[in-house]
Amino acid sequence: MSLRLEREIERLKYKILEVGALVEQAIRYAVISIDDGDAEAAKKVLTGDTRIDEMEVLLEEECLKILSLHQPVSDHLRLIIAVMKINEGLERMGDLAVNIAERALYLTTKATMTPPFNLSKMESSVQAMVKRSLDALVHQDEAFARRVIQQDDEIDEMNRQNYAAAIKEMKENPDKAARLMHYVSVSSQLERISDLATNIAEDVIYLVTGEIVRHKAKEAAESAADEMYS
């Protein structure tokens, strides 16, 4: 590997972690805006999203430039492909944080209410997944990445339970329906963030081992269900 390519690869690693740090911050502010009814925290998410978008475009352009100029192979090609996919996933996480912040801004204009489910537990679990997926990337740790993937089912179940609890509350208190739908939306956005964290973990496994694990967990679950009812 040429010295120039080595420097550019190292710069890619630094840049993807920089994007990751901004996205982690956006999610943290979004969670604060919901938990504390903090409009200023929500506005920080909205204004910060422009920077995430700009960095996503710049990093993609950098990857394409390296592919064009150096035509890397093997591990280096795999790294660039993984960075491009992770970069896109992080930008989408930023957009989801914006969606949560927008829900928070709406809720600050309405009477305070407590959602009929434990949103804080879901928030902390999702934030932990995002952090672990990025830690797995930093250390190129396959075992750590697989732990993130295993946690995704837990978040999916929380989202299902939150939706069911909200529907029950709406039936009993129809006047709360509009606010409850915003909390359901927050739960849904958090679940989608966890899916994207899982995608990052899967990309890390691809980077480290060359193995494509996407969809395998789903296939295993479907197989187990088939066996249960056969």
**pLDDT tens column, 2-38:** 788 889 988 999 999 999 999 999 999 999 999 999 9
Q: pTM of this prediction?
A: 0.89
Q: What is the pLDDT of residue 217?
A: 52
CATH number for the domain harbouring residue 136: 1.20.58.220
**pLDDT tens column, 55-82:** 999 999 999 999 998 888 778 888 899 9
Write out the residue range of the structural domain in which residue 101 sits.
3-229
Q: How many domains is the chain built from?
A: 1
- What 3 state SS string does the chain have? CCHHHHHHHHHHHHHHHHHHHHHHHHHHHHHHHHHHCCHHHHHHHHHHHHHHHHHHHHHHHHHHHHHHHHCCCHHHHHHHHHHHHHHHHHHHHHHHHHHHHHHHHHHCCCCCCCCCCCHHHHHHHHHHHHHHHHHHHHHCCHHHHHHHHHHHHHHHHHHHHHHHHHHHHHHHCHHHHHHHHHHHHHHHHHHHHHHHHHHHHHHHHHHHHCCCCCCHHHHHHHHHHHHHHC
10-residue mean pLDDT series, the chain (230 residues) = 83 93 97 95 97 96 92 85 94 98 95 90 95 91 93 95 96 94 97 97 91 66 40
